Amino acid sequence: MREVVMNKKTNLLQLEEHFYQLADVKEPNVFHNLFPYDEIPKIAFNDRIVPHNMPEDIWITDTTFRDGQQSRAPYTTDQIVTIYDYLHKLGGPKGKIKQSEFFLYSKKDRDAVYKCLERGYKFPEVTSWIRASKQDFQLVKDIGLRETGILVSCSDYHIFYKMKMTRREVMNLYLSVIRDCLETGISPRCHLEDITRSDIYGFVIPFCVELMKLMEEYKIPIKVRACDTMGYGVNFPGAVIPRSVPGIIYGLTTHAGVPSELIEWHGHNDFYKAVNNSTTAWLYGASGVNCSLFGIGERTGNTPLEAMVFEYAQLKGTLDGMDTTVITELSEYFEKELGYTQPSRTPFVGSNFNVTRAGIHADGLLKNEEIYNIFDTGKFLNRPPLVSVSNTSGLAGIAHWINTYYHLDKDRWVDKNSELVKMVKVWVDKQYEEGRVTVLTDNELVVEITDCCKKLGIVL
């Protein structure tokens, strides 16, 4: 009989009557009613609503050097250390980017870990991802890490088709591996791969109940990372599990008894839902969301770390010391050092994310940038709003471009009635009358504006 306990969130006595035991099925349940391979996956609803349960303390963890590195050319050791320095600065003095995970397979991987450890930062804490073997556990211990990730695939797609085992067999295997890890004094972080296609109450919850028993036995924290490996998770209230992110997090906290501070959400963006699902995981009880810089990761990528920085600020009403200008510095570093150019319309980092081409929008920006800018991007990202000059920019767009490009003080701003702006507009119109179809480059504009200024006898 389960004990009646006080729910610290609601301050009400709580009794969970159900006990969830392993359903050791003979045939795999791959939810073909939801995931028919020859059709688009289905989102079904049963209208069972679970309550919001956001932890008091939430944070971000980083997988740039693990999942992020699986989808691109490996970083050099120096590049890893530089990016790690940026992550430390971005996370701020409160360490809101709590951890960063690393491979330990090669000498290069281990050299990067040692160099990052030499930095002496409390945050992001260096953690690892290894194969489930005693040799690798010992390697983690020898390096001096206190925690490591371990893959524990949990859907029947993986259990039956990839591992060729039954649920009982694979649970026993996982628990023995995790016990081996605990015996070395290392805290395991269990990566529940493919959780959004798994039998939540027939396998995941019973497995996590056993994990909590091991945690009680060894007095060593065991984390649970809910991995939306294929991006099937949805955040809609009343959606059915296993696709329901609220339902999964509720099950882990309420039925499996996993504390919020030991739950992370790891999302993928296959259906454009990585950011929303990560935010939803926070809202329903996960303290951590696992991300990679700029969303770089397997297939369509992971949850972009920079997106969750701004999600955090919107939910908490504060950045809690995170330095968002570092996001721009990181984007510039990736472009200059790694040759990685952000897609131009990517929020916060793309070249066009706060650039407007429409003349009517430029007119609004010229009068008050709050009208067409999402927030003070100059303050938070060192990127004031811009306009691109084309056939649709109009006088206002040209005026705004001149004021921004030349960093003119407000008392020196030009407006759409300026002779300089009118002269440049005549030149712009001529370009498009002669058949041009592309936007004008900065260099072209500078040459023309310099020539116009000489003619008018003015200096910007």
Digit-coded pLDDT (tens) for 181-236: 999 999 999 999 999 999 999 999 999 999 999 999 999 999 999 999 999 999 99
**DSSP one-letter string for 91-114:** HTTTTSEEEEEEE-SSHHHHHHHH
What whole-number distance in Å separates Cα of residue 251 and Cα of residue 228? 15
Digit-coded pLDDT (tens) for 122-144: 999 999 998 877 888 888 999 99
pLDDT in the model for residue 359 = 59
pLDDT in the model for residue 356 = 79
Contact 401, 444 (CB under 8 A): no
pLDDT in the model for residue 366 = 67
Mean pLDDT, rounded, for 10-31: 89
Q: Which residues contact 236 (CB under 8 A, 6 or more apart)?
A: 43, 45, 244
What whole-number distance in Å separates Cα of residue 311 and Cα of residue 314? 5
Whether 287 has a pLDDT exceeding 90, the answer reads yes
Pairing state of beta strands 147-151 and 125-129? Answer: parallel
pLDDT in the model for residue 372 = 87
Q: Which two tokens stand for residue 135?
A: 């040799």
pLDDT in the model for residue 362 = 66
The 10 Å CB-count burial string (b at 16+, else e) for 427-449 is bbeebeeeeeeebbeeeebeebb
Residue 190 is inside which H or E element, if any? strand 187-192
pLDDT band at 331 (very low <50, low <70, confident <90, very high): very high
Q: Which residues contact 228 (CB under 8 A, 6 or more apart)?
A: 195, 196, 245, 265, 266, 267, 268, 274, 277
Whether 172 has a pLDDT exceeding 80, the answer reads yes
Give percent of the chain with pLDDT exceeding 90.
81
Digit-coded pLDDT (tens) for 448-457: 999 999 999 9
**DSSP one-letter string for 301-345:** -B-BHHHHHHHHHHHHSS-TT--THHHHHHHHHHHHHH--PPPTT
Mean pLDDT of the chain, nearest integer: 94
Of 3-17, 89-103, 161-175, 316-330, the one with minimum mean pLDDT is 3-17
Whether 8 has a pLDDT exceeding 90, the answer reads no
* Preceding peptide of 221 cis, ω within 30°: no
What whole-number distance in Å separates Cα of residue 356 and Cα of residue 397? 8
Report which of 458, 444, 396, 404 is spatially closest to residue 421, judged by C-alpha positions: 396
Whether 392 has a pLDDT exceeding 80, the answer reads yes
pLDDT band at 110 (very low <50, low <70, confident <90, very high): very high
**DSSP one-letter string for 385-406:** -EE--STT-HHHHHHHHHHHHT
Of 101-105, 217-221, 291-295, 354-358, the one with minimum mean pLDDT is 354-358
pLDDT in the model for residue 150 = 96
Digit-coded pLDDT (tens) for 38-57: 999 999 999 999 999 999 99
Contact 86, 329 (CB under 8 A): yes
Please report, for residues 44, 103, 134, 144, 181, the alpha-carbon distance to residue 140 in angstroms, rounded to integers and kept in the order given. Answer: 42, 10, 10, 6, 10
Digit-coded pLDDT (tens) for 426-439: 999 999 999 998 88
Report which of 259, 253, 191 is spatially closest to residue 225, judged by C-alpha positions: 191
pLDDT in the model for residue 315 = 98
Q: Which two tokens stand for residue 98?
A: 């709590």
Answer yes or no: pTM beyond 0.75. yes
